Structure 1
């Protein structure tokens, strides 16, 4: 086998895929991605594609494509839409660090979807307006700080709801299922973002879920302004209440410029927590089946949250909740010997990059240590929260909530995996894991 330098000899170049290659990328990589639902997962599709192990086939296609083109990323043409599929960490680095210019986050497909429920969101904003909205998001979410200024209050909310979840699980025969976990997690999220009064307001997150399901169809589904306005009225009500200790209170108290639309930013915060819940539940299954990591998570109470943060990050590496990171070129871009026209899409397929067995010796195993020992630092194959100037501004808040939740659930209880597939350190982990089918047994320590 060649070394990584030989395998990526074409890094920094773009080759044009043939028509058969483009059709294979579309059929085996992109169609399954869209079937799952980019913004709202379709349970039936996730279940089916996990059984078929579709990501394994998609990764094989992209790996062979990279080899065939000398290690370079490839330009595919799909029904007149040009897309560069980024297949090397160096190329991912160039695009993500080059955002928002000349690689805008306001990708055409992303805009068509997100505009249906967050038309003023920072992810589809450009120019000075984007800068103002990004700065506002970072201020409210405390992007630069590992622990949010409301960390103590948020921690208390997370621990309280974890206790309720454990009580409900005991009442259900000592079994934690995805519906039980998701119900509890969304109660936590509503309290963190909107305040205690929103704890049981399933309508506000239900309306968001319906809008996201429609947005999965991008151009093919008309927006539903009445549903969005009903959701926004609810969110504005909670901001108006200004209950202390939640993000809504910070929004109410923080001045914003005329183009920011502070309340309009909050739908993205709710949306972003969805993947955190999925990752947390998958991680519970991983820790239940990986004794070494389980012991480490329980051994050092002083460093427990740091280790659990690393566990969450590696779970997001193994099974990304952002299936593809998208940018569009705003101008013609010279790339090696090729000039890529303005308007071309650039796609970083995270499920391939995170499991690139030719570059990552830990590709198919649970390896939280890489997020602690420097291995993951500056590795542009690993983008669980995107990267560069467009990195998720809520990264630290999400990691705080999930690590505190997992620490509290494990404080006096152990979990066992009672569903398939079996997860074990002795075998490569599956490319896909249907979180909806996970069943965890609960027992006191």
Structure 2
């Protein structure tokens, strides 16, 4: 481990500053389900900017090692070094477990058996199941053909009115998500994702909100109904073909799928923001045009540059602003039960270590620069890295390809972006609007 000394101890005043500038704005924006009003306020006030400045100052004052916050009854350490980020994430699930008190409370509202909140015994088979179905490490999933067809069909009509806003985009995106995950019969089941949205809103409050067990039972029953059809060309089919079940009841399977649906929501945000970046950066747009110009979008493609644009969207505006780990044994970070907080916007926009901190630089995901930096973690890292990362990037890049092919469009409202100025620290996707000729 890079950390071999006791963490520095933050003053009470600095602990309060972290709470006010880092923790509270993150919670206000919605960690599990984004809050449109909270995100609009965050963009207006650019709340991530003072948070990054504060952590830069704390690193200068206390050193690059972990910083222990003065929180009564808890041991919470704030990571300030990229090397420490890499080491902590690499040491999962022992001694740094992804299953933390806050995460169990938040995700327990809609996926109490999800792999991220599972104990050491249950975690291994559940992680193996996720990897078997989602196929991490493969740019093109075995079912990429039907997935590409679903994306193309839903994307085809998005520009029909000459404009594109979030409300229009998200309807098509959720139809894609349900088709990819559950099959054609689930495409129009808005009720399923509406129930999930309500449970996720409860999850924003973690242990401060009572669990709605009846609603969760209704959601899980409805989800299992879709899964049991195992429709060809969907992840439900791959689930049915997965290896021996072991302890894998349909309830446990449904909780893994609930997390996939949750994660796909963030992927939609990433895609829409990447479209905004392409609309406002002519050189990047030209390169993206070249990538899709001769592509047959009815055939699954890898689109490496568009994937890089999606990854850069996550770097600039992380959809998971806080990565948490909880130690299962005594470590240099502290006693067993220590919570490690990694504030990703700090590491992704650190002006002291990233010369491109506030620029749109998708090339870093192609030339090895990003891979060499342990602090850039768009899908987390280590053994707990998102198993659906390649599938998400396939869906995002394919959707972008359909949206930009043979089309000129502009960002009409919602933000001022461009290569001539530093990009905003916070970007509200809910109020972005595009126009096209």
TM exceeding 0.5: yes
The alpha carbon displacement at 1:414 in A equals 1.9
The aligned residue for residue 185 of structure 2 is: 197
CA distance in 2, matches of 1:213, 1:310: 30
Choose the corresponding residue for 1:140, options 133, 143, 157. 133
Q: Is 1:393 the counterpart of 2:362 in the alignment?
A: no
Backbone CA RMSD of aligned residues: 1.6
Choose the corresponding residue for 2:367, options 361, 364, 373. 373
Contact preservation (8 Å) 1:10, 1:71: no
What aligned pairs does 1:170-249 form with structure 2 within 5 A after superposition? 170=161, 174-249=162-237
Q: Is 1:57 the counterpart of 2:50 in the alignment?
A: yes
Query: When the two structures are aligned, how many residues end up with a matched partner?
Result: 426
Superposed CA offset, 1:388-435 (max 9, x none)? 000000000000001011001111212201114210101100000111
Contact preservation (8 Å) 1:419, 1:440: yes
Superposed CA offset, 1:102-121 (max 9, x none)? 00011110001111110110
Choose the corresponding residue for 2:339, options 330, 341, 345. 345
CA distance in 2, matches of 1:392, 1:400: 14
The alpha carbon displacement at 1:94 in A equals 1.2
SS at match of 1:165: coil
The alpha carbon displacement at 1:11 in A equals 9.2
SS at match of 2:68: strand
Superposed CA offset, 1:297-325 (max 9, x none)? 01134687110000000000000000111
Are residues 292 and 322 of structure 1, via their aligned partners in 2, closer, same or farther at CA, if it must alter by over 3 Å? same
The aligned residue for residue 80 of structure 1 is: 73
Contact preservation (8 Å) 2:3, 2:332: no
Q: Is 1:71 the counterpart of 2:64 in the alignment?
A: yes
Superposed CA offset, 1:118-167 (max 9, x none)? 01100011223100000000000011211100011101110110003233
Contact preservation (8 Å) 1:251, 1:263: no
Superposed CA offset, 1:228-278 (max 9, x none)? 111111111111212100011111232443323222211011000011101
SS at match of 1:147: coil
What aligned pairs does 1:262-273 form with structure 2 within 5 A after superposition? 262-273=253-264
Choose the corresponding residue for 1:34, options 5, 27, 40. 27
SS at match of 2:70: strand
Contact preservation (8 Å) 1:136, 1:256: no
Q: Is 1:328 the counterpart of 2:326 in the alignment?
A: yes
Structure 1 gaps of 5+ residues are: 1-8
SS at match of 1:40: coil
CA distance in 2, matches of 1:265, 1:150: 19
Superposed CA offset, 1:55-99 (max 9, x none)? 111111111001001222211122422211111111101110011
The aligned residue for residue 14 of structure 2 is: 21
The aligned residue for residue 434 of structure 2 is: 440
SS at match of 1:327: strand
SS at match of 1:298: helix
The alpha carbon displacement at 1:12 in A equals 6.8
CA distance in 2, matches of 1:72, 1:201: 48
SS at match of 2:436: strand
Contact preservation (8 Å) 1:106, 1:327: yes
The aligned residue for residue 129 of structure 1 is: 122
Q: Is 1:318 the counterpart of 2:316 in the alignment?
A: yes
Choose the corresponding residue for 1:278, options 262, 265, 269. 269
The aligned residue for residue 296 of structure 1 is: 287
The alpha carbon displacement at 1:14 in A equals 2.3
Are residues 19 and 201 of structure 1, via their aligned partners in 2, closer, same or farther at CA, if it must alter by over 3 Å? same
SS at match of 2:43: helix
Choose the corresponding residue for 1:406, options 363, 385, 400. 400
CA distance in 2, matches of 1:155, 1:204: 23
